[in-house]
C-alpha cells in the first residue's frame, strides 16, 4: 500500500547520536569520566555533521519525504548566554538541504543532551532551567522559524519518571538475586528502551560520584536522562510549555508538540490495576500540560505485560531484539489507538524501530508496524506521519555503537554508508 500524498514517511536521528564531537555537552563529559558507564565514547559518531547531505540524499533517493533530527543546544549555546551564530547557519544548511531534496524537516530542540553549563546550574531539577530553555527555544525559532513547519520541543519528556521506576525495580531485582546480579541487570536494561548499563552504573557509583562532582559540582548531576522526582517531572513539562509559548509568539503557524516514550501496556488477568497505574504515570497525568499542543510525538518500541504481581518478563520463547526487549511491532497500533482516546490533536509517530543484525527482521517489523498505522489512518485517527528510528546505525547512548537500529549501515572507520533493504522498503510506501 502507499499512504496519501501529504503523509510523512521518514526517519529520525538525534544530534549527539550521529553528528560527532559534541564537546560542550554533559554526555561528552560523562563518556570520558574514568568510571564512565558508557562502553565507549561517541567520538566522531557517524560524522553526520559533515555528511548530512549524503544522508539526506540517500533518504530522498529511497522515497522518504520527512526527516526528524535535533539541533544541539550544547553547540548553539556552548556557554551560558553565548549563542553561536555559525551553528545556527549549520542547521539552516541542513534544513535547506532537506527542502532541496523534497524532505520535510521536523526539528527537535532537546534530544537528551544538554550543555554542560546547564547541568552545573542544577540541570533538569532546577527551576532556572525553564527560563534557559525558553530563551534557547526563542533564539532558535527567531533564526530558523521562517523555514520550519514542525518543532518537537523535548524528546521523550517522560523518560525521567520511567528511569526512576526502573531504578527502583532494578535495585529490588539485584537485592533478590544478589548472586545473579547479571541476569537482574539484563532484565532491567531490557525494560528501558534507551541504551543504559545499569550494572556498570551500580558498580561505578562511588567513583562516578567523585568524578561527577569534579566535572559538574555535584555527585549526582541531573542530566535529562536521570531518575526524575515528581517536581522535576512537572518542571520538564513546564519547560515545554514555556518553549511552546516562545515559539508561538514568533511564528504562530509552526506546529509544536512534545514526544513521549509510550509502551503498549497489556494487562493479563489480575494485572489490570498495575497496567492502569503505569499508563497514568507514562501518559495520562501529562494531559493537562499538552492538551492544547498541535501534535503529540508518539514513540513506541515494544509492549509490557502485567500480571497479578506486577510487571511480567517477556513471554516464553519471544523473539528479542539486541536491546533485550520483545520484537512486537503490533505495539505501535495499540499505543496510537489508546493515546487517541485522550489526546485530540494530531499524532505523528516520531520514533519506532528495532535494533537487529538481520535486516529482514527490520523489514518485517516495519511492514507490520505500518499495517497498524494504515488501519489507524483508515479509522480516521489524525495521524500525520511515521518516522522510523533510526536513519543510521548510531551511538546508542551507554551502549555505544553496539546496537544497530539503522536503515543505513555505517562503517565507522571509513564512514562509508551502505543502505539496507529496509530503507528502500520504507520508501516504497511513498510510491
Q: Which residues bind ligand BGC (CB under 6 A)?
A: 14, 155-156, 193-195, 261, 351, 389, 396
- Smallest gap from Cβ 309 to ligand BGC, in A, equals 27
77 versus 396: smaller Cβ distance to ligand BGC: 396
- Smallest gap from Cβ 121 to ligand BGC, in A, equals 24
42 versus 129: smaller Cβ distance to ligand BGC: 42
Supply 5's cell numbers: 500524498
- Smallest gap from Cβ 430 to ligand BGC, in A, equals 23
Which residue out of 31, 87, 104, 156 is catalytically annotated?
A: 156
- Are 193 and 324 within 8 A, CB to CB? no
108 versus 305: smaller Cβ distance to ligand BGC: 108
- Smallest gap from Cβ 394 to ligand BGC, in A, equals 7
- Are 105 and 58 within 8 A, CB to CB? no
400 versus 419: smaller Cβ distance to ligand BGC: 400
- Smallest gap from Cβ 196 to ligand BGC, in A, equals 9
Is residue 282 annotated as part of the catalytic site, yes or no? no
63 versus 297: smaller Cβ distance to ligand BGC: 297
User: How many residues are listed for the chain in this entry?
Assistant: 431
195 versus 329: smaller Cβ distance to ligand BGC: 195
Instruction: Identify the residue whose cell numbers are 489512518.
Output: 377
- Smallest gap from Cβ 268 to ligand BGC, in A, equals 25
Positions marked catalytic: 156
Amino acid at each position: 500500500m502507499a499512504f496519501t500524498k501529504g503523509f510523512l514517511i521518514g526517519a529520525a536521528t538525534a544530534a549527539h547520536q550521529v553528528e560527532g564531537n559534541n564537546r560542550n555537552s554533559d554526555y561528552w563529559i560523562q563518556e570520558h569520566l574514568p568510571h564512565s558507564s558508557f562502553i565507549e565514547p561517541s567520538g566522531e559518531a557517524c560524522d553526520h555533521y559533515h555528511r548530512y547531505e549524503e544522508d539526506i540524499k540517500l533518504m530522498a533517493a529511497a522515497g522518504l519525504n520527512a526527516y526528524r533530527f535535533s539541533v544541539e543546544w550544547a553547540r548553539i549555546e556552548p556557554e551560558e548566554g553565548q549563542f553561536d551564530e555559525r551553528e545556527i547557519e549549520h542547521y539552516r544548511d541542513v534544513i535547506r538541504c532537506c527542502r532541496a531534496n523534497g524532505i520535510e524537516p521536523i526539528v527537535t530542540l532537546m534530544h537528551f543532551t544538554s550543555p554542560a553549563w546547564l547541568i552545573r546550574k542544577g540541570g533538569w531539577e532546577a527551576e532556572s532551567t525553564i527560563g534557559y530553555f525558553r530563551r534557547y527555544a526563542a533564539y532558535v525559532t527567531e533564526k530558523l522559524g521562517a523555514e520550519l513547519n514542525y518543532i518537537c520541543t523535548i524528546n521523550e519528556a517522560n523518560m525521567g519518571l520511567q528511569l526512576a521506576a526502573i531504578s527502583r525495580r532494578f535495585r529490588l531485582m539485584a537485592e533478590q538475586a544478589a548472586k545473579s546480579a547479571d541476569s537482574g541487570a539484563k532484565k532491567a536494561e531490557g525494560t528501558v528502551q534507551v541504551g543504559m548499563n545499569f550494572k556498570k552504573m551500580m558498580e561505578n557509583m562511588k567513583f562516578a560520584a567523585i568524578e561527577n562532582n569534579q566535572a559538574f559540582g555535584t555527585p549526582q548531576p541531573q542530566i535529562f536522562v536521570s531518575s526524575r522526582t515528581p517536581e522535576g517531572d512537572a518542571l520538564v513539562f513546564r519547560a515545554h510549555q514555556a518553549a511552546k509559548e516562545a515559539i508561538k509568539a514568533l511564528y504562530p503557524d509552526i506546529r509544536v508538540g512534545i514526544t513521549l516514550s509510550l509502551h503498549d501496556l497489556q494487562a493479563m488477568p489480575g494485572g489490570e490495576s498495575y497496567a492502569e497505574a503505569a499508563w497514568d504515570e507514562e501518559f495520562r497525568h501529562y494531559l493537562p500540560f499538552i492538551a492544547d499542543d498541535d501534535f503529540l510525538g508518539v514513540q513506541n518500541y515494544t509492549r509490557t505485560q502485567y500480571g497479578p504481581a506486577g510487571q511480567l518478563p517477556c513471554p516464553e520463547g519471544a523473539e528479542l531484539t539486541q536491546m533485550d526487549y520483545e520484537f512486537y511491532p503490533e505495539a505501535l497500533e495499540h499505543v496510537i489507538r489508546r493515546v487517541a482516546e485522550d489526546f485530540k490533536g494530531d499524532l505523528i509517530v516520531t520514533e519506532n524501530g528495532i535494533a537487529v543484525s538481520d535486516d529482514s527482521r527490520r523489514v518485517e517489523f516495519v511492514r507490520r508496524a505500518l499495517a497498524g498505522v494504515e488501519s489507524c489512518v483508515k479509522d480516521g485517527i489524525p495521524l500525520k506521519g511515521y518516522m522510523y528510528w533510526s536513519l543510521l546505525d548510531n551511538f546508542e547512548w551507554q551502549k555505544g555503537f553496539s546496537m544497530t537500529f539503522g536503515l543505513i549501515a555505517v562503517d565507522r572507520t571509513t564512514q562509508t554508508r551502505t543502505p539496507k533493504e529496509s530503507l528502500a522498503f520504507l520508501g516504497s510506501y511513498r510510491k
